[in-house]
Amino acid sequence: MLHCPIAHAKSLAEVRRVVCDRDYGFAYLALEGDSRFGQRLVGTIGTIFVSWWYGDDHFFTDRWFFTLPGRRWAGPRLLAEADAIARAVGVPLIVNLKQRRTTAAVTFVKPALLGKSE
């Protein structure tokens, strides 16, 4: 769910930062179709590596996570790849799922904790 109109230059700059800045995060794409005849992007997740506001430990969290309608199969696969990276690094992956607007000013987000658990 997007909460405001897209600022194209700003969003492109952030996608570029997530994809290109090695210490900032990572992105995965879900593609559908035969590579010989062209593939179609059906889902993507971009994550950033941040620290808790109250401490020094770090975690990955989603910057974006989208799948096309009718291609929901891509979501669990993207999460599995992101979770595998978080586990390899030894930190949690926190993904903000199941967003729903409760009022004009409040949006409820139920995060999912994946990755490291201790």
What pLDDT score was predicted for residue 36? 77
pLDDT digits (tens, 9 = 90+) for 10-25: 999 999 999 998 889 9
d(CA 111, CA 46): 15
Spell out the SS3 assignment of the chain: CCCCCCCHHHHHHHHHHHHHCCCCEEEEEEEECCCCCCCEEEEEEEEEEEECCCCCCEEEEEEEEEECCCCCCHHHHHHHHHHHHHHHHCCEEEEEEEEEECCCCCEEEEEEEEECCC
Q: How confident is the model at residue 42 (pLDDT cuts 50, 70, 90)?
A: very high
Instruction: Let me know: does 116 contact 92? Beta carbons within 8 Å.
Output: yes
What pLDDT score was predicted for residue 17? 92
Q: Can you list the domains of the chain with their CATH numbers?
A: 8-115 (3.40.630.30)
What pLDDT score was predicted for residue 16? 92
Q: What is the pairing mode between strands 40-51 and 58-67?
A: antiparallel
Query: Which two three-digit tokens encode residue 8?
Result: 């194209």
Task: Please state the pTM of the whole predicted model.
Answer: 0.78
What pLDDT score was predicted for residue 11? 92
pLDDT digits (tens, 9 = 90+) for 66-110: 999 999 899 999 999 999 999 999 998 888 876 655 555 555 556
Instruction: Let me know: does 86 contact 114? Beta carbons within 8 Å.
Output: yes
